[in-house]
Structure 1
Amino acid sequence: MRGERGTRTWWLGVGAATAFAVVAGAWGIARQPLEPYYAASVRSMAGSGHAFWFGAFDPAATLTMDKLPGAFWVQALVVAVAGPSTTAMVLPQVVAMALAVVVLAVAVRALTGSPAAGVVAAMVLAVSPAAVGVARGNVADPLMILLLVTAAWAVARALHTGRPTPWLAVAGLAVGLAFQAKMLAAWLVLPALAVAFLVAAPVPLGRRIAATAVGGVVTAVVSFAWIAAVSLVPAGQRPWVDGSTDDSELAQVFVYNGLGRLGAQNPLQELAGQGLALTAPGTGAEGPSIARLLVGDLGRSTGWLAPAALLALVVGLWAVRRSPRTDPRRAAYLLFGLWLLVYGVAFSAGAVVNVYYVATLAPAIAGLLGTAFAHLLEVRGGAGARLAAGAAVVVTIAYSAVLVLRSEHPVVTPVVVAVLLGVGAVGLVATARRGALVTALVAVLVLPVAATGWLLALGGGAFDTPYESVREIRAVRVLLVAAPRLAAGTLPGLERSRAGAPDLMAVQSAAVASVFAAPTGDEVLPIGGFTGIGPTPTLDQLRADIAAGRFHVVLSFPSTDPRFVWVAEHCRAQRSLDPTFQVHVCVPADATRP
C-alpha cells in the first residue's frame, strides 16, 4: 500500500509541475512578440528543403543564420505544417521545457533513488521565472536544456548498471544534439557529467575511463556531423556562412559564437557600431563578474534559489564525505553542482549575457535542491541537518526579498507571506516535526512563484525579467514590437517601389532585414550578414543583382563600406523617415554607369 501511495504521489507531483510548465509557457503566446531575426530565418527554412538543411536566413539562401540551425529546424518543421504564426514558432519551446521538467524529475530520481527528490526538482524547475520566460520565446535554449537534462538522465542510468558504456553513448548523443541547438554552450555540461560518472560509477577505474571516452567520442562525432556534411558541399552550391570571414562553419562556431564573446564586442555591439542606435534588451547592466548573476536582471531571472542551491552543494558534499565512493547522493551533488558552477563562471565572464541564457542554470539549481530535500528527509533528526535547513530558509527568503524590494516594482505582500512562512518553517525544522521540510519548501518558493506570476501578468517572454524597470520594458517593446510594426507600415510603399522585382529590397544587416522579411516571408537581400560588415555579397555580386533587376530599393546606414559608397554614387537617393538610414532606388542601368 505504501508503494502504491508513493507512486501515486510521484505521478501527481510530476504531473502538477508539468501542467504548470505547460500553462505558464503557453499563457497568451499567440500575442507574444517574436524575435524578428529568428522568425525570419524560420520562415525561410520552412519554405524549402535547401534553405532548411543549410539553416538559411533568407528564402533565396544567400546567407546562413549566424548560428547552427538545430533548434530552428524544429520550429521550421512546425511552421511548414501549421503555417507561419507566433504560436507555431513558440509552441515547440513550451513543449521542450515541459518535457525538460519530466526528464529532470526522472533523472534526479534515478540519481538519488528518491522519488521525493525528483518531484521537488520538477517543481523548482517548473516555477523558475527563467525557465518560464525562456519557454515563451522563439529562441534555441529550451531544446538545449531538454537535451542536457536527457544527458544527465543517461548518466544516472550509467551509474546504476554494470554496463555503463551504452548509457554514456546516449549521454554523448544528447550533448552532441544539444551542440546543434546552441553550439559551445552545450559542451559546458561535459565536466559535470564526466566527473559524476568517474567518481561514483560502480565499475573499476579503467572501465570508467573507457566508458567516458566513448561518451566523449560520440559527443564529438554528433557535434561535428552536420558541419562536416555542409563543408563537403562546394561554396557555390550553398549559402555563405554568416559570422565568418572565410565561409567556415568552424569559424562561426568557435570564433564568432565562441572565444569572440569573451571580452570582445558581441554582434549587437558591432551592429550598433555601424550607426544603428540599437540597445539589446534583457542583457543586464552589470559587467563581467560573479555578482552579475545574483543582482539586477539576471538575479531576478534565476537567482532566487541560487544561494540555497550553493548551500546545498557545500553542506551535501560535506555530509557524504565518509560515504562510499558510489554513494548516489554524491554523484547528484557533483553533477548538478558542477553544472551550476561551470555555467555560472561562463556567464560571469561573458561580455554580454542575455537573460534567457541563464535559464540553463535552472535545472542545476532544481537538481541540487531536490537532492538536498531528499537527503534531509533521511537525516531530519540530525542537529546539523536541521541547522542547514533553517539557514537555507532564512538566507533564501532574505535574498529573494531583497531582489523584490530593490526593484522598481516592489511587491510587499508576497515578501510578508514568505517571511511569515519562513519563520514557521524554521521553527518546525528546529523541532524536527513531520512536514517541516515541506513547509520550508513552500516558504522558499513563494517569491519565485510570485515573480513568475508578475512575468505572466506583464505578458513577458524570453527577453523579459520579473520586476524589470520601465526602461527595460520599453527597450524590449521597441525591439520586438515597435520596430516590426514600423517596418510593416512601410511595406505598401516598398511594394510599389519594388515594381515587380523578385526581391522586396536589399538591406544592410540581416538583423535589420529581418523586420521586413519576418511578416512577409519575402526575399530581403541581407548585405553584410548580421553585423552589416560581413563580406557577402561582394560589390560585384551587388552590381550584378542590380543589373539583373533583382531589387530596386537599398536600405543602409551611413557607411564608408565600398558597397554602400558605390550605391550612394550610382543610385537615386530617397527621403528616409529615420536619419539613421539611407534609402536609394537602383535600376539596372545604374549598374553599367562608370
Structure 2
Amino acid sequence: MRRASVRPRPRRAGEGRAGLVLLLLGTAVLYLYDLAASGWANAFYSAAAQAGARDLTAMLFGSSDPANAITVDKTPAALWVMDISVRMFGLNPWSVLVPQALMGVGAVAVLYAAVRRVAGAGAGLLAGSVLALTPVAALMFRFNNPDAMLVLLLVIAAYCTQQACEARTGRWWLIAAGVAVGAGFLAKMLQALLIVPALAAAYLVAGRAPMRHRLANTLAAGAAVVVSAGWYVVLVELWPASARPYIGGSQHNSLLELALGYNGFGRLTGDEPGGLGNLDHDVGWGRLFGAGMGTEIAWLLPAAVICSTAGFILTRRASRTDATRAALIIWTGWLAVTAVVFSAMNGIVHSYYTVALAPALAACVGIGATLLWRNRFDTRAAIALAGTVLVTTALAAVLLARHAEWQPWLRAAVAAGGAGSAALLLVVGRLPQSVARSVAGLAVVSCVAAPAAFSVATALTPHSGAIPSAGPAGGGGFGGGLLDAPTPSAEVTRMLTDDEGRFTWTAAVVGSNNAAGYQLAAGAPVLAVGGFNGTDPSPTTAQFVRDVEDGRIHYFIEGRPLMGRADPSSVSADITEWVAERFPAIAVDGTVLYDLTMPQISQPAHSPSQR
C-alpha cells in the first residue's frame, strides 16, 4: 500500500487558469441570465435603492423613501452598492440586481483562491463549482437581499485568515479579516459574527507567530471588527433623531436595539418585539433537511461532513502550522457554528438564510474530497470516497422525490451514476490512471447533477417578494407573491403622480412592502406606516395627524394584509381607524384610497364611492 499523502504538489504558475476562467464565465452566465425577469425582486429593497439614489440622507441611513420617514430593518451596506448602481445607470431591474450577481461571481473567485492555496487548483475548481451550483446561491446571487454582500465579505474574511495563518506574523491579514467581518455586520448585522469563532480558532491554533503574538493579533482583529462595524452604530445613535428617519424594526428608534433584538438574539429566542412570528417551527437538526431548507442547501451537506472529518484524520500528524488543517478549521468551524445556529433558531428564520452555509460547505467538499482522492490507494480512503458518493446521491434522490413531476428521469440517473461510481471507487486505487480519472468524473457529476439542475431551474424562474425560495417554477420554488409588493393600476399611478410635488409623501400605507409597490410605480415618496411588519411605532398617531393637517400627505391607501396578525392596538391600526372615520373612501380599480386633502367628515365612512 502506498504511503498516504496530505500535501498538495507545488503550484505551478498559471495552473488551473483555464479552468478558473470557465468557472467564472459559467457562474456569470448562471447568475446574470435573464436577470430582469424578476422585475424588482424584493421591492422592499428596490424602493430603498430608489430612495437612496435620490437623497443622500436616505442613502446614509437606508431609508425606505426619499422623504426619510423610516429605514429598512437592516444596516444599509448592501443598499449603498445598489444606490450607487442606480445613480449610475438609472432605476431599473438590471441596475438593482446586477451588483448581487457580480458579488456571487466574486465569492466563487475568492473561494477558489482560498481552496487552491491549500489543496491545489483541482480542489479550488471543485469548491467553486459546488458554491456556484448550490441552489440557494443561484437564488440569492440573483436577488437583492443583503445576503449576497454578506457571503462575499465572509469568504474574503476566511481567505484573509488563511493568509494570516501562513504569514510570519499575519497581523495585517488578520486585521483585514476583521474589517471584512465588520463590513459584513453592516450588511446583515450579527449574522456576520457567526464565523468569528472559526477564524480565531484557526489562527490561534495554526498561526506561525509565537502564542503571545497570536493572542495580540487576534485582539487587534477583534478591535478591527468593532471599529469597522461600530462607527456606523455610533453615528446613528448620536445623530439627532429628529434629523434622521426612524430606525425600522426597532421599537425605540435605536439601531443598537435593532442589532441586538429584532435582528439579533431575538432570532434565537423567538422574543422579537415587532416581529410576526416564525414560519418554520421545525427546530432542530432536521430543519436543514426539511421541506423548507432541504432543497436549498442539503444536497452536499453530508458530503461536507464526511470530507471535512476525513481531512482532519488525514492531517492529524501534520505540523501545528499545517495550512491545509488550518483551512479545515476555518471552513468546518464556519459550517458547524452556522448550522447549529440555524437549526436552533426559535425566531424569524427563512430558508434562503442557508446561503451563508454554501461557501463553507463547498470548501469542505473541495479540500476533503481532494485529500481523499490523493490517498485513494489506501482502502480506508477509497471506502470513504465511495460512501460519500452513495450518501450524496441517495440524499439527492430523496430531495428530488419532493418534486416528483419535475424531471423524473434525473432521480434514476443520479442513483445509477452514484451506485456505479461508488462501486468503482472501492477499487479505484488499482485502476489505470486514465480510468481512475473517468471514475472520479462520473462520481462528481453524479453528486452535483441534482443541485446543478435545481440551480438552473432556479435561474430560469423569476423570483419576487420578501421570502423567495429555490427550485423550478410550480415545483416548490416561489416565483412570487409571498410578501410581494402590489402593482397599482395605471389610474392609481396617475392619481399618485398628479401634483405629487406639492406633498412630502404622495401617499401613506401600512407596511413597507405595500409602500414599495406604490413608490416604485409612482416614482414619488410613499410613507410606510409601521415599517416592514406594520408593527413599528412610527409614525405615531399624533405625528401622522399633524402631517395630514400640514398637508404633507395626499392619500392614505388601504394595504394588502401583512403576513401574520398585526396587533389591533398597534399604532398602524390606530392610524388606519382614524383615517377611515374621517375621510371618504374612493375605490379605484380594486384599490381603496382616502384623499387626505378633502374636508373631514363627522362620522365614520360607509361604503366607498366608486371612481
- TM normalised by structure 1 equals 0.90
The question of whether the paired residues in 2 share the 8 Å contact of 1:505 and 1:551 is answered with yes
Shift of the 488–226 alpha-carbon distance from structure 1 to 2, 3 Å rule, reads farther
Structure 2 counterpart of 1:458, from 450, 461, 470: 461
1:61 lines up with 2:68 in the alignment: yes
* Deviation for aligned residue 1:19: 1.2
1:102 lines up with 2:109 in the alignment: yes
Q: Which residue of 2 aligns with 1:567?
A: 579
* Structure 2 letter corresponding to 1:584: Y
Q: Which residue of 2 aligns with 1:327?
A: 322
The Cα offsets for residues 235-257 of structure 1, whole Å up to 9 and x where unpaired, read as 21111111222221101111111
Shift of the 54–156 alpha-carbon distance from structure 1 to 2, 3 Å rule, reads same
The question of whether the paired residues in 1 share the 8 Å contact of 2:463 and 2:478 is answered with no
Q: Which residue of 2 aligns with 1:508?
A: 510
The question of whether the paired residues in 2 share the 8 Å contact of 1:307 and 1:396 is answered with yes
- Partners of 1:521 and 1:243 lie apart in 2 by 24
* Deviation for aligned residue 1:469: 5.4
**1:248-397 pair list within 5 angstroms:** 248-264=254-270, 270=276, 287-350=282-345, 351-397=347-393
Instruction: Specify which structure has the higher proportion of helix.
Output: 1
- Partners of 1:268 and 1:515 lie apart in 2 by 22
- Partners of 2:543 and 2:411 lie apart in 1 by 61
The question of whether the paired residues in 2 share the 8 Å contact of 1:414 and 1:447 is answered with yes
**Larger deviation, residues 71-80 vs 539-548:** 539-548
The Cα offsets for residues 417-465 of structure 1, whole Å up to 9 and x where unpaired, read as 3233323422332222331434322221111111112223334578132
SS of alignment partner, residue 66 of structure 2? coil
Q: Which residue of 2 aligns with 1:32?
A: 38
The question of whether the paired residues in 1 share the 8 Å contact of 2:158 and 2:199 is answered with yes
Shift of the 81–288 alpha-carbon distance from structure 1 to 2, 3 Å rule, reads same
- Partners of 1:472 and 1:370 lie apart in 2 by 28
Aligned length: 575
- Partners of 1:576 and 1:259 lie apart in 2 by 43
The Cα offsets for residues 231-278 of structure 1, whole Å up to 9 and x where unpaired, read as 2221211111112222211011111111222343768963x9xxxxxx
The Cα offsets for residues 377-431 of structure 1, whole Å up to 9 and x where unpaired, read as 3322111110100000000000011100132534332223323332342233222
The Cα offsets for residues 4-55 of structure 1, whole Å up to 9 and x where unpaired, read as 9955451122222211211011111111131111111110011011211121
SS of alignment partner, residue 487 of structure 2? helix
Q: Which residue of 1 aligns with 2:246?
A: 240
* Deviation for aligned residue 1:103: 0.4
**Larger deviation, residues 194-203 vs 299-308:** 194-203
Identity over aligned pairs, percent? 30
The Cα offsets for residues 204-224 of structure 1, whole Å up to 9 and x where unpaired, read as 222221111111110111111
SS of alignment partner, residue 226 of structure 2? helix
* Structure 2 letter corresponding to 1:407: H
Shift of the 387–526 alpha-carbon distance from structure 1 to 2, 3 Å rule, reads same
Shift of the 488–517 alpha-carbon distance from structure 1 to 2, 3 Å rule, reads farther
The question of whether the paired residues in 1 share the 8 Å contact of 2:156 and 2:177 is answered with yes
* Deviation for aligned residue 1:502: 4.5
* Deviation for aligned residue 1:108: 1.4
1:167 lines up with 2:162 in the alignment: no
- Partners of 1:484 and 1:534 lie apart in 2 by 21
1:80 lines up with 2:90 in the alignment: no
**Larger deviation, residues 307-316 vs 431-440:** 431-440
SS of alignment partner, residue 107 of structure 1? helix
- Partners of 2:518 and 2:443 lie apart in 1 by 51
- Partners of 2:161 and 2:27 lie apart in 1 by 25
Shift of the 77–556 alpha-carbon distance from structure 1 to 2, 3 Å rule, reads same
The question of whether the paired residues in 2 share the 8 Å contact of 1:386 and 1:430 is answered with yes
1:45 lines up with 2:45 in the alignment: no
- Partners of 1:87 and 1:24 lie apart in 2 by 15
Shift of the 166–473 alpha-carbon distance from structure 1 to 2, 3 Å rule, reads closer
| Superposed CA RMSD | 2.8
SS of alignment partner, residue 504 of structure 1? strand
Structure 2 counterpart of 1:525, from 519, 523, 527: 527
SS of alignment partner, residue 526 of structure 1? strand
**1:442-521 pair list within 5 angstroms:** 442-460=445-463, 463-467=468-472, 473=478, 476-477=480-481, 479-480=483-484, 483-486=485-488, 490-495=492-497, 501-521=503-523
The question of whether the paired residues in 2 share the 8 Å contact of 1:488 and 1:516 is answered with no
Q: Which residue of 2 aligns with 1:148?
A: 154
Q: Which residue of 1 aligns with 2:555?
A: 553
The question of whether the paired residues in 1 share the 8 Å contact of 2:202 and 2:329 is answered with yes
* Structure 1 letter corresponding to 2:596: C
* Structure 2 letter corresponding to 1:568: A
Structure 2 counterpart of 1:440, from 440, 443, 447: 443
* Structure 2 letter corresponding to 1:567: V
The question of whether the paired residues in 1 share the 8 Å contact of 2:45 and 2:145 is answered with yes
* Deviation for aligned residue 1:548: 1.9
Shift of the 374–253 alpha-carbon distance from structure 1 to 2, 3 Å rule, reads same
- Partners of 1:113 and 1:328 lie apart in 2 by 9
Shift of the 42–267 alpha-carbon distance from structure 1 to 2, 3 Å rule, reads farther
The Cα offsets for residues 277-311 of structure 1, whole Å up to 9 and x where unpaired, read as xxxxxx97552221111132311111111010011
Shift of the 153–229 alpha-carbon distance from structure 1 to 2, 3 Å rule, reads same
Shift of the 526–469 alpha-carbon distance from structure 1 to 2, 3 Å rule, reads same
* Structure 1 letter corresponding to 2:449: V
The Cα offsets for residues 69-106 of structure 1, whole Å up to 9 and x where unpaired, read as 00110011000110000010000000001010010111
* Structure 1 letter corresponding to 2:458: L
The question of whether the paired residues in 2 share the 8 Å contact of 1:18 and 1:126 is answered with no
**Larger deviation, residues 568-577 vs 421-430:** 568-577
SS of alignment partner, residue 554 of structure 1? strand
Q: Which residue of 1 aligns with 2:4?
A: none
SS of alignment partner, residue 308 of structure 1? helix
The question of whether the paired residues in 2 share the 8 Å contact of 1:546 and 1:591 is answered with no
SS of alignment partner, residue 537 of structure 1? coil
The question of whether the paired residues in 2 share the 8 Å contact of 1:36 and 1:484 is answered with no
SS of alignment partner, residue 553 of structure 2? coil
Structure 2 counterpart of 1:585, from 591, 595, 600: 595
SS of alignment partner, residue 93 of structure 1? helix
The question of whether the paired residues in 1 share the 8 Å contact of 2:486 and 2:514 is answered with no
SS of alignment partner, residue 191 of structure 1? helix
Structure 1 counterpart of 2:423, from 419, 424, 427: 427
- Partners of 2:274 and 2:294 lie apart in 1 by 23
- TM normalised by structure 2 equals 0.87
**Larger deviation, residues 358-367 vs 454-463:** 454-463
Q: Which residue of 2 aligns with 1:196?
A: 202
**Larger deviation, residues 247-256 vs 526-535:** 526-535
